[in-house]
Structure 1
Amino acid sequence: MVDRNDVEAAAKLVGERVRRTPVITVRGRDLGLPGELSLKLELHQHTGSFKPRGAFNRLLQGALPGAGVLAASGGNHGLAVAYAARELGVPAEIFVPVTASPVKVQRLSRLGAQVRQVGEHYADALEASSRRAEETGALVVHAYDQPEVVAGQGTLARELEQQLDRIDTVLVAVGGGGLIGGIATWFDGGPRVVAVEPARIPTLHAGLAAGRPVDIEVGGIAADSLGARRIGGLAFDVATRTGVRSVLVGDDDLIRARQLLWSELRVAAELGGATALAALLTGAYVPQSGERVVVVVCGGNTDPSDLGPPRAH
C-alpha cells in the first residue's frame, strides 16, 4: 500500500532535486474542444518526463551500494535513473529493449549509464535486468511497481493541487501504472482520475475487466513509453480502491494529439505524452459543461522531425 503520507514524505525527501513543472490553461477552441482545459507540462521535468520523481525517491531512501543502481526501462525510466544516479555520484546500468527510441538510448549514454539492449519488449529487458541484479547486488529501481517509485510519482499530483484552485478531473496516460498509481493515491476522495491507454496496450483496462492484473499483447506506436505487459500490482490496487476508470484511444488518435499539441501550443510531446489529450479529442472522455479538466503531458523524449507543420487557419 502507498498512501498520502508516503507522497508527502517523498515530496520532502526529493525536494528541489526535481523541477516544479508548469501548468498552462488553454481555450478548448484552440484544440477544437469546448470550454477550457489545463495542461500539466511534465515533459519539462529533468530528462523529459515525470520519472525522476520516483527515481530520486527510491535512491534517496538510504545508503547506495557500491555496485550502484540498475533498472529496466522502455527509455524514460532509464533516463531518470541514470540522471539521478549521476547526480548522486553512483554508477547506473540500464536495460532497454531493442525497440527503444534511439533518442532515448543516445541520451542514456550521454548521462553516463551503461546501456544494455535486450529483447523486443520492456518485459524482456526486465527479465534480463533481474538476473543482472542478482549477480551485482546493485539497487533495483523498478519502473512502476515499487512503493517508493509510486509515492515519488504522486508528488506530481501534490504539486498540481497547489497550482490550480480547482480540479475536477485529471486525465493520465497509463503504461505500467506508476504515475496513475501515485496520482490516484494523492487525489483519493478528491478529483476524478481517468486512465487513458492505447487500445493496443490496455494494461489497466484489461486488468479491471479481469478483476486482477493480467498479461496483454504489447503493440502499437507508443510501446517505447507505455509498453508494459501487465499493470503493476500497486497501481491496480490503487485504481480499484479509488474508482479509476480506463478509456482507450487508437494509434491514429495519438498521432493527431501529438501533432495538435505542437501545431497549436508548441508543446513537443512524445506519443505517450500526448495520450491523455487524445481521450478528449476522440470523445473517449467527454467532460460535463463547466468541468475543470487537467491533462498530464507526461513525456517529451521524441524526435521532433515528424511533428508536422503548423495547422493552417
Structure 2
Amino acid sequence: MKNLADLWRLLWPQAEPTPLLELPALASLTGVGRVFVKVEGERPLGSFKSLGGMTAGVRALAQASGIDDPRDLFSDARSLPRLICASEGNHGLAVAAAAHKAGTRAIVYLPAEVTEARAARIEAQGAEVMRVSGTYDDAVLAAEAAAERGDGLLISDTSSDPNSAVVNAVIEGYGLLAQELIAQFREPPRESPSHLFVQAGVGGLAAAMVEGLQSLLRAPARFIVVEPESAPCVAQALELGQLTRVDGQLHTSASMLACGVASAPALRILQRHAVSTMSVSEAELRMGRAGLRNVGGPSTTTSGAAGVAGLLRAAARPELRELHRLTSDSVVLLIASERDLSIVGRPADD
C-alpha cells in the first residue's frame, strides 16, 4: 500500500482531518493579519506522532514479514516480531498502537521523568515500558542496544544516519498533516499563510512541515523553528552544519521537546530550505500555552504551544518583527501538536 492516506484510513477508519481554527483574538494581540492553528490534540492517540510512529511501525512489520500490502497484517494470523522505540510519551504510544493493531507487542524505553499517565497510556496498548535513568537521548541509546540484541524491530523517530529508512518513514507519515493543511486552506478557499512557527524536538515535525508546505506558504514564506532555550538541538545543528549534543540537562516544561541531539534525516531536509530558528524561555513557553487558551484556542501543553510562544516572542520585539518580516498583513500558521492530558474528563485514548 503505497498511498499514506490509504494506510492511515486502514489504521483509523473513522478518523477525520484534524480541525484548522482561526484565532482573530491572537491575530489582534500579535499585530498580524490572521492566525490559524491546526489542532493535533484531536488526532487519534492525541498527537501528530500517531501519523509517524504508526506508519513506520506497520511498514516495518510488513517488510519483516515479506508482505507487500499492509492490509494482510490484519487479515491473517501470523507471528510478528516486537517493536522497540524510545520516547517521551507520544511516539511510544504510536508505536505501541501499531504493534497492538497488528497483533504483536512493543517495548518502549522512557526517561525516568516521563509521567505515569503517559506510561499508562502506552501500557494500555499492551506494550512493556522500560524506564531509563537520564534523558530522552539515553532512552534512544537503550532502545538501539535492545534492537541490536535482537529484542525486536527498532522504530525510532531519530537517527544519526540521514538515510534511515524507518526515521524517514516517520517523517513521511507526519507529511499527512501537511497534506491536510493544503486541502484545508484551499477548500474552502482561505488566504494562504505567510509564516509557520513550528516547534521542534529532534526536528521531525518541523522537517515534514517545511518540506510539505512549500507550495502553500506565500511570500515572504517564513519557516521559524521554535525550541526551548535549554534544548536547541535543531538550531545548533543547523548553525554548525552537523549533529552535536546540546550541553546541559535539557530541563524544560516542554518535555516533548527535551532532546539533546537532532535527527539527521530531519536536519538534511531542513538544510534544503530557508529556515529560521528561535529559542524561547520557560516563562515564554508557559505564556504560549496560557495565551493560546485565553484567545479561544485549544488546550495543549507547553510542548504543544511552543510555536505560539515563538509567535508571541517575535511579535513583541521590533527587531524580531523586522527579522522575520512579520507585519499587519501576515498570515500565521501554528500547530497545537498534542492534547493536554491533565484536563479532567477527556478520554485517555481514541
Bucket of the pairwise TM-score, normalised by the shorter protein: 0.7 to 0.9
- Is the counterpart of residue 194 in structure 1 residue 224 in structure 2? yes
CA distance in 2, matches of 1:58, 1:194: 26
Equivalent AA in structure 2 for residue 57 of structure 1: T
| Structure 2 CA distance for partners of 1:16 and 1:295, relative to 1, 3 Å | farther
CA distance in 2, matches of 1:151, 1:212: 22
Equivalent AA in structure 1 for residue 203 of structure 2: G
- Is the counterpart of residue 208 in structure 1 residue 208 in structure 2? no
Which stretch has the larger CA shift, 137-146 or 13-22? 13-22
Shift of 1:37: 0.4
Q: Aligned-residue CA RMSD in angstroms? A: 2.1
Shift of 1:264: 3.5
Q: 1:182 aligns with which of 202, 208, 219?
A: 208
- Radius of gyration: which is bigger? 2
Point out where structure 2 has 5 or more consecutive residues left out of the alignment.
66-79, 160-166, 187-191, 345-350
Correspondence list, 1:154-303, <5 A: 154-165=175-186, 166-188=192-214, 190-191=216-217, 192=221, 193-217=223-247, 218-222=249-253, 224-265=255-296, 267-283=298-314, 286=321, 287-303=326-342
Q: Give SS of 1:195's match.
A: strand
- Is the counterpart of residue 52 in structure 1 residue 78 in structure 2? no
Correspondence list, 1:64-143, <5 A: 66-143=80-157
Shift of 1:266: 5.7
CA distance in 2, matches of 1:92, 1:31: 46
| Cα pair 1:270 1:301 within 8 Å, conserved | yes
| Cα pair 1:13 1:60 within 8 Å, conserved | no
Matched residues, number: 298
| Cα pair 1:175 1:228 within 8 Å, conserved | yes
Which stretch has the larger CA shift, 154-163 or 204-213? 204-213
Q: Give SS of 2:272's match.
A: helix
CA distance in 1, matches of 2:261, 2:26: 36
| Cα pair 1:201 1:227 within 8 Å, conserved | yes
Which stretch has the larger CA shift, 160-169 or 25-34? 25-34
| Structure 2 CA distance for partners of 1:301 and 1:127, relative to 1, 3 Å | farther
CA distance in 2, matches of 1:276, 1:67: 37
| Structure 2 CA distance for partners of 1:72 and 1:151, relative to 1, 3 Å | same
Equivalent AA in structure 1 for residue 39 of structure 2: L
CA displacement, residues 28-85 of structure 1 (integer Å, 9 cap, x when unaligned):
3577222320000012112211011111221232245623211100111111111222
| Structure 2 CA distance for partners of 1:130 and 1:233, relative to 1, 3 Å | same
CA distance in 1, matches of 2:201, 2:285: 14
| Structure 2 CA distance for partners of 1:38 and 1:57, relative to 1, 3 Å | same
| Cα pair 2:300 2:340 within 8 Å, conserved | yes
Shift of 1:231: 1.0
CA distance in 2, matches of 1:79, 1:107: 7
| Cα pair 2:226 2:280 within 8 Å, conserved | yes
| Cα pair 2:37 2:334 within 8 Å, conserved | yes
| Cα pair 2:82 2:105 within 8 Å, conserved | yes
Which stretch has the larger CA shift, 287-296 or 260-269? 260-269
CA distance in 2, matches of 1:63, 1:212: 31
| Structure 2 CA distance for partners of 1:252 and 1:16, relative to 1, 3 Å | farther
Q: Give SS of 1:277's match.
A: helix
Instruction: Look up the match of 1:309.
Output: none
Instruction: Look up the match of 2:68.
Output: none
Q: 2:168 aligns with which of 135, 138, 147?
A: 147
Equivalent AA in structure 2 for residue 201 of structure 1: A
CA distance in 2, matches of 1:301, 1:133: 32
Point out where structure 1 has 5 or more consecutive residues left out of the alignment.
1-7, 306-313
CA distance in 2, matches of 1:9, 1:290: 37
CA distance in 2, matches of 1:271, 1:135: 36
Q: What is the TM-score normalised by the length of structure 2?
A: 0.79
CA distance in 1, matches of 2:202, 2:99: 22
| Cα pair 1:73 1:125 within 8 Å, conserved | yes
Matched-pair identity in %: 25
Shift of 1:226: 0.8
Q: Give SS of 2:338's match.
A: coil
CA distance in 1, matches of 2:63, 2:151: 13
CA distance in 1, matches of 2:235, 2:208: 18
Shift of 1:241: 0.7
Q: Give SS of 1:300's match.
A: coil
| Structure 2 CA distance for partners of 1:229 and 1:97, relative to 1, 3 Å | same
Shift of 1:291: 1.6
Shift of 1:301: 4.4
| Structure 2 CA distance for partners of 1:266 and 1:239, relative to 1, 3 Å | closer
